[in-house]
């Protein structure tokens, strides 16, 4: 159970998950729903997916850097 006195480790993956959902679920679904589209719409959907996936990767790398003090427990002191 989460305790109120514990420090946050600084990880926030909500944005990463939201960007991956846009990149791999919503953008292809919208493209599939509006099937008879031209090359411009297809390119835009692919570009949007690539930008969201890249942004999610960057956010993942930034958020997953934990320092050693955030991992250690306070009971050992």
- Can you tell me the distance from the alpha carbon of 68 to that of 50, in angstroms, rounded to the nearest whole number? 33
Split at pLDDT 50, 70, 90, the class of 50 is: very high
So what's the pLDDT on residue 65?
A: 67
Residue 2: burial class (beta carbons within 10 Å; 0-12, 13-18, 19+): exposed
N- to C-terminal Cα distance for the chain?
22
Mean pLDDT of 15-42: 85
Q: Does residue 68 or residue 61 have the better pLDDT?
A: 61
Q: Any idea where the domains of the chain sit in the sequence?
A: 15-63
- pLDDT per residue over 6-25, tens digit each? 555 555 678 888 889 999 99
Question: In percent, how much of the chain has pLDDT > 70?
Answer: 68
Q: Tell me if residue 34 falls in helix, strand or coil.
A: coil
């Amino acid at each position: 159970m989460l305790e109120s006195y514990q420090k946050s480790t600084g990880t926030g993956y909500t944005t990463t998950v939201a960007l991956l959902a846009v990149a791999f679920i919503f953008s292809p679904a919208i493209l599939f729903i509006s099937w008879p589209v031209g090359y411009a719409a297809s390119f835009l959907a692919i570009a949007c997916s690539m930008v969201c996936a890249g942004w999610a990767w960057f956010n993942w790398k930034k958020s997953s850097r934990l320092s050693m003090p955030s991992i250690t427990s306070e009971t050992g002191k």
